[in-house]
C-alpha cells in the first residue's frame, strides 16, 4: 500500500506477503518484478530458506520499488498475478489483458506446456504496464 498520493499504487504489501508464504519458490519476487532473483529463489528454495526469511523484512521496499517502476491503469496487477498464479495454464491472465489469440493458445496447450507460463512469470508486470500505457 502506498503512503504518498503522488506515487500510484500498482502492487500491495498484503498480496506480497501472501506470495511470500510461497517465497521459497520465488513467488513474491516475480510479483514485485524481480524475475532473476525469483528464478534463483526457485532453484535454491529461497537460498536454502535464508533469503526467504530476509525477504520478510524487504517486502515493503520491494513494494515501493514496484510502485515506482510499473504503470497503473485499467489493468490491475493484483488481478493479473492472481489469474496467472491460479489459472495461468489456461491463459486466464492473457484473456484479462485482452490478448485473446495467445489466451486461446494457452488454453488449448496448457500454457504452451508450461513454458509460456514461465515466460509470463518473467514478463507479466511489463505486459500489464504496456497495456496500461496503450502500447499493446
- HSE (CB half, 13 Å, CA atoms) of 29? 21
Which single residue is written with the C-alpha cell 529463489?
41
- What is the pTM for the complete model shown? 0.90
Distance CA 60, CA 97 (A): 27
What is the full per-residue pLDDT of the chain (136 aa) written as tens digits?
545 456 689 999 999 999 999 877 899 999 999 999 999 999 999 999 999 999 999 999 999 999 999 999 999 999 999 999 999 999 999 999 999 999 999 999 999 999 999 999 999 999 999 999 998 7
Grid cell, residue 108, equals 488449448
Distance CA 116, CA 59 (A): 27
Amino acid at each position: 500500500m502506498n503512503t504518498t498520493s503522488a506515487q500510484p499504487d500498482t502492487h500491495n504489501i498484503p498480496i506480497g506477503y501472501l506470495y511470500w508464504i510461497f517465497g521459497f519458490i520465488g513467488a513474491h519476487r516475480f510479483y514485485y518484478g524481480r524475475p532473476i532473483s525469483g528464478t534463483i529463489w526457485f532453484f535454491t528454495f529461497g537460498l536454502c530458506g535464508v533469503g526467504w526469511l530476509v525477504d520478510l523484512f524487504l517486502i515493503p521496499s520491494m513494494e515501493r520499488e514496484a510502485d515506482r517502476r510499473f504503470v497503473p491503469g485499467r489493468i490491475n496487477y493484483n488481478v493479473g498475478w492472481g489469474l496467472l498464479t491460479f489459472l495461468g495454464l489456461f491463459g486466464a491472465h492473457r484473456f484479462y489483458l485482452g490478448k485473446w489469440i495467445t489466451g486461446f493458445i494457452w488454453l488449448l496447450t496448457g500454457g504452451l506446456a508450461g513454458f509460456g507460463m514461465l515466460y509470463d512469470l518473467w514478463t507479466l508486470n511489463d505486459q500489464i504496464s504496456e497495456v496500461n500505457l496503450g502500447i499493446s
